[in-house]
Every structure is written in C-alpha cells, then in structure tokens.
Amino acid sequence: MTANIKANQTGRLQALDAAHHLHPFSEQFGLARDKSRVIVKGEGVWLTDSDGNRILDGMAGLWCVQVGHGRQEIADAVHKQMSELAFYNTFFKTTHPPAAELAEKVTSLAPDNFNKVFFTSGGSDANDTVFRMVRLYWDLMGKPEKKTIISRWNAYHGSTVASASLGGMKAMHGQGDLPLPGVHHIDQPYWFDEADGMDPESFGVARARALGEAIDELGEDKVAAFIAEPVQGAGAVIVPPDSYWRELKKILAERDILFVADEVICGFGRLGHWFGSEHFGLEPDLMPIAKGLSSGYLPIGGVMVSDKVADVLGREGVEFFHGYTYSGHPASCAAALENLRIIEEEKLVERVAGDIGPYFRERWTILGDHPLVGEARAIGLMGALELVPAKPSHRRFEDAGKVGLICREHSFAHGLVMRSVNDTMIVCPPLIISHDEVDDLVARARATLDVTLDELTRAGKMG
Ligand code: PXG
C-alpha cells in the first residue's frame, strides 16, 4: 500500500467510526475530534495500526491476551469447530463436545473443591450470575434474609446493572441510580493513595478488619457474600499489603458468608498461578472468570462453583432460572480449549511464577527512580506507576486524571500501550512476552515518562 492509500483508508475508517460507533467508556465528543486509532493486526506482543506503526501491546488487548496475538492454532480450532457445529445451545438437556470438554478442563485446573462451571459470555454477566446464585444459595439454605453482598470501593466487576453495582466505581454508580439495593461497599487496600501515613502492615490489617466491622453493622444473618479481586486490576493494579489477605482469611473463616474471588483478570496465569486466589492462599466459594480463559480470541466467561455451593444448587428439584443464549458457545469453548492447551504446553503459568514475572518486576520497579514516579509496583505480570508532582510525598496532581491522559498519549507515540487510571499508569502484557520485549517495554515507558515530565515542567505543574 502506498502511504496515500493508507492515509485515505485510515481517514475513511475513522470517519465511519466517528459517525456511527458509540465506544465503551469514551467521551464521544473528544473521540470524534481526536479520531480513533485503527488497529489492524496483532502478532505476539505487537499490534500494527492502519498507518503501519508497530505498537507494543502492554495491556494484552484488555487484560486478556495471555498467549499473545495471532495464534494460528486457535484460529484453526475455531474454524474446525464452526465447520462442524457453529452454534447450538446448552439449555433443554443438551450439550456439545466443546462445552463438555471445556467444563472438565477448566475445573481440572482449579482447586480440588471446584468441580462445576456455569458458562457466560464474559465477566460482567458472570458477576450477574454470581449476584443471583448467592441469593439462590441462601434461599435454598433456608436463610433468605441473607441477601447483602459486600464489595469494595474502586472494585471493578463489570458494566451490567448487577456487576456495576457490585463494583465500587462511583462514576458508574452516578449513572442510572446504582448500586442496586443490597450491595454494601467497604474501603479498599490502596496503600499509596489512602494510607495517610500508616505503615503498609497496619493499613492492610485495618482495611481487612473493615469487612468484620461491616458484617457486624449489617448483621451476619443479613450478609450473603463478600466479593473481591485478589488484586484489583482496573482499580489501578492495587497490590494489597501482605497483611491484608492474611487478616481477611481469618475473618472469612469465622463468618458464615460466601466468598467470591473475581478471577476475571487474576486468573489464567496472570499472577503465576492458574487462579490469583492461589497466590494468596484464598479459599473462595465462587470464582467468576473470563478474559484469559480464551485469551480474548472469542468472548466467553463463567462462574467456577465450589462443591459447597454446587451441592446445594444440585439438589433434586432445584432449577436455577438463569442462562444466556451463548452460555457454552461451541466456537468460544473451542477457542478456550485451544488457549488452555497452549498455556499448558508452553508452561506459561510456571513461566510467570519463576521466570518472566520476577524479571518483569525487577525491570519495571526500577522506574521508581524516575522523578515523576512516586511508586512503581508489580505483581505477576501486572505493573503500576504512581505519577506525582513531587517526591517522596504521595500528594497528587490537581485535576486528577489529566496527567495520566497526557502520559497515555505520549506512550502511544512511543509505540507502547499503557493504560491510565487517573494518574496511575498500568501495564499487563501477554504472558508470552520475552525478556528482550520486557526491556523494550520498560525503555518505552521510561522515554514516555521523560517527555511527560518535560511537558509538565514546562507547564509549571511539577513541584
Ligand atoms: N471482573 C473484573 C475483575 C474485570 O476486570 C469484569 C469483571 C467484566 O468483564 P467483561 O468481560 O464483561 O468486560 C472485568 C473487566 C479497563 C477495563 O479499562 C477492565 C475491564 C473491562 C473493560 C475495561 O481496565 N475488566
């Protein structure tokens, strides 16, 4: 393609997009003015845009492309499945080979007490399923008054009415009168932003004890469940202090409530285990999953159901009046099966635990020496940088989020996808990223910080 044809093609797609496409979580007005970046190809950790620029995909698509882009094996598996049976449902006493095989496979990877999975189309509807399932569980247990689900401020559990209610994003709650009744939020373990001088250990304990306090306040006989991501992803890769889960485990062990570990981001190797819960020794009763289950090649999610809950739902005469047309979609299941086969064959989970995870952490956290970075943290293959106007204080820039967006633009210009959450920059690369590519990612991040710092210094925003 000559440069001109490329430019015309890009312009045409941008115009169509601006005219007709309502994007998720985007300011439509600004997007139409600034124009969408058109991504046309993916291979390994690399994306190519319609102008031929190569961009390192530091966000693994959207926290999901564990095995990297462009895996022909998955395309072939989906093609084969679609040629045989593109769609059939799993209602009315029917199943099909990929759904049955995937149910067995995914439960075989989970802790021993997980032997059942309910399939969904993604993570939001997995959490809607959780919302209804925990209430049905307590109804069946003869405790229908146990309805309230406790979650955390700044959690992300999805965008549907129930999952956005479970989430703790205030901006989302502000639209459409959320949360639904019966959801209670407690404070999160975000040490950098909220500790106010407390040391990490004491802060972690205090934030964990907030659960016990909330249960006492609401009444244990009214509380159905606690839901939490092992590490908050979209919240800004919030790695809790070591004391946090240690203390929470004690509280959960003493209380008669269900524990839901949202594994949509932390699952499938992200923290160097099949499930993020295993990293912290958690013992959930339910685990919503999605994203890395199929590496995003086709949409699929689910809820992993422990024996404790499955035995109750499986009682004679009990029917869960719940399901999606695409629960266990054959092509999505085929994509997931092939994806899991690759993760196992290439030992990607072990690689994150023992090789590329530690290497990434070592390289990434060096960015903490940059004048713009108040804290650099990493866990598994996720990393965050807290941007601040002056070190060592935890004080933030005025106009929260503006600096993050400036940095994100510079990052794209340096051929790196980094996402901003307010003024925190985060990455979560594919699990197949090589050592050289980690070096490349960190070099691009540093160059991005340098130009961002220059711009902020010139604008008089530092100090
Ligand atoms: N739970 C968690 C922990 C998630 O991160 C969902 C549930 C919902 O999954 P679906 O498949 O319905 O999107 C998510 C999704 C971001 C971003 O900008 C994060 C997600 C989705 C979209 C954007 O960080 N996480």
Token duo for residue 360: 């990434």
pLDDT of amino acid 415: 98
Residue 255's SS3 state is: coil
Ligand 1 pocket, 122 CB below 6 A?
Answer: yes
Query: Which ligand 1 atom lies nearest to the CA of residue 233?
Result: 5
pLDDT of 4 strictly over 80: no
Residue nearest to atom 1 of ligand 1 (CA): 157
The per-residue pLDDT for 69 is: 98
What value does the mean pLDDT take over residues 380-404? 95
Ligand 1 close to Cβ of residue 156 (< 6 A): yes
Q: What is the pLDDT of residue 8?
A: 81
Ligand 1 binding pocket includes 124 (Cβ within 6 Å): yes
Q: For 286-340, write each residue's pLDDT tens digit.
A: 999 999 999 999 999 999 999 999 999 999 999 999 999 999 999 999 999 999 9
Amino acid 238: pLDDT = 98
Reply yes or no on whether the pLDDT at 119 is more than 80.
yes
Out of 156, 289, 426, 427, mutate this one to test ligand 1's pocket (max ligand atoms within 8 Å of CB): namely 156
* Cα of 424 from ligand 1 centre, angstroms: 17
Model confidence at 7: pLDDT above 80: no
Quickly name the fold that domain 73-345 has: Aspartate Aminotransferase; domain 2 (3.40.640)
User: Token match 């050592």: residue?
Assistant: 435
- To test the ligand 1 pocket, which listed residue (232, 291, 329) has its Cβ within 8 A of the most ligand atoms? 291
Question: Which residue type, as a one-letter code, is found at position 6?
Answer: K
pLDDT digits (tens, 9 = 90+) for 53-105: 999 999 999 999 999 999 999 999 999 999 999 999 999 999 999 999 999 99
Rounded distance from Cα 312 to ligand 1 centre (Å): 29
Give residues with Cβ within 8 angstroms of 27, minimum separation 6. none
pLDDT beyond 80 at 371: yes
**Buried residues in 243-280 as b, exposed as e (16+ CB within 10 A):** bbbbbbbebbeebebbbbbbbbbbbbbbbbbbbbbbbb
pLDDT in tens, 398-414: 989 999 999 999 999 99
Please report the pLDDT score of residue 5 as a whole number.
63
Per-residue tokens: 32: 């139409």
| pLDDT of res. 409 | 96
Q: Is the pLDDT of residue 17 over 80?
A: yes
Query: Where are the chain's structural domains?
Result: 37-67+349-458, 73-345
Nearest to 229 by CA among 19, 416, 63, 457: 63
The token pair that represents 68 in the structure block: 């990297």
The mean pLDDT value of the chain amounts to 97
In CATH, 37-67+349-458 is 3.90.1150.10? yes
Q: Which residue has the tokens 């549907």?
A: 160
